[in-house]
Amino acid sequence: MSEIAAVPVAVCQFAPTASRADNRERIAELTADAAARGAKLVVFPEYSSYFVDPLDESLAANAEDLDGEFVATLAALAAEYAVVIVAGLAERAADGERVRNSVVAVRGDGILAVYRKQHLYDAFGQRESDWVEPGELGPAATFDLGGLRFGLMTCYDLRFPEVARSLVDAQTDALVVPAEWVRGPLKEHHWTTLLAARAIENTVYVIAADHPTPIGVGHSQVIDPQGVILAGVGTAPGIAVAVVEGETIARVRATNPSLRVRRYAVVPRDTVPGGAVAPGAPS
């Protein structure tokens, strides 16, 4: 990380629908707006390519490959506006029945990073695993832009602090969090609290884009390494822009060297369906 690095970023809060063409058109409009405001990184929510509530069989029918129309559109937009775009994609899975809940970071010349959601939303009465296969554990999904490193995670992963910590172990300066944070009792409180917590405990920026109400909670935000909201959107569709600064990260870490003095490491642990620890895995 360079102390003089600074990257303007935008979070674009919109409601993806069951029309893939409409979603691509809306992303194009928002990218143009964000770029006009100076953004060099433009972040969209989870399931930006296609979304229905509740999830159903149409998800697999509308899934795309990484070389499909959705990613090609992102690459064309990224080239046109000289930005990097991060967005959620319903990616085609091998079995043709479920999908991969993926996040792609795309530049004009192609894909920079791909993250496949590791913690599926089997909570609060939902069963994402009925429609989505979990991503494999592996190297952190990161990309570099403007002298800073950005790491990908998504939605329910926020409830597992080791995901963010593993990205920080890969020298990440900012966490990028596309989400579809489903509304419900205290869910807005959980969303905003966990975003701030991941920033504070890791001394990183958090860049989070959600769906607006009535399905999501909204409140897409850019948060600094001390948990301060630099820019945000309310519950309606919209864009918020802020600058991620390497100098700020360095200053916060000099004052609060918690990453340097910590005494525990993150160790991957695989699980079997239902949440039980796989045989032979540490418990």
Domain boundaries, the chain: 6-255
Strands 148-152 and 142-145 turn out to be: antiparallel
Per-residue confidence at 283, pLDDT binned at 50, 70, 90? very low
pLDDT above 80: residue 278: no
Q: Are 20 and 28 contacting, i.e. CB atoms less than 8 angstroms apart?
A: no
Q: In this predicted structure, what is the pLDDT of residue 269?
A: 80
CB-CB neighbours of 97 under 10 Å = 12
Kindly report the average pLDDT of the chain as a whole number. Answer: 94
The fold for domain 6-255 equals Nitrilase/N-carbamoyl-D-aminoacid amidohydrolase (3.60.110)
pLDDT in tens, 170-181: 999 999 999 999
Residues acting as catalytic residues = 46, 117, 155
Crossing angle of helices 69-81/20-36, nearest 10°? 20
- Percent of the chain whose pLDDT exceeds 70: 94
pTM strictly above 0.75:
yes
Q: In this predicted structure, what is the pLDDT of residue 275?
A: 53
Pick from 127-131, 189-193, 206-210, 272-276: least confident: 272-276
Mean pLDDT of all residues in 91-103: 93
Rounded CA separation 133/131 (Å): 7
Pick from 79-83, 236-240, 271-275: least confident: 271-275
pLDDT above 80: residue 213: yes
Rounded CA separation 66/11 (Å): 22
Give, as one character, the DSSP assignment of residue 57.
Answer: T
Tell me which residue of 225, 230, 226 sits closest to 240, measured CA to CA.
Answer: 230
pLDDT in tens, 28-67: 999 999 999 999 999 999 999 999 999 999 999 999 999 9
User: In the 3-class helix/strand/coil scheme, how is 225-281 assigned residue by residue?
Assistant: CCCCEEEECCCCCEEEEEEEEHHHHHHHHHHCCHHHHCCCCCCCCCECCCCCECCCC
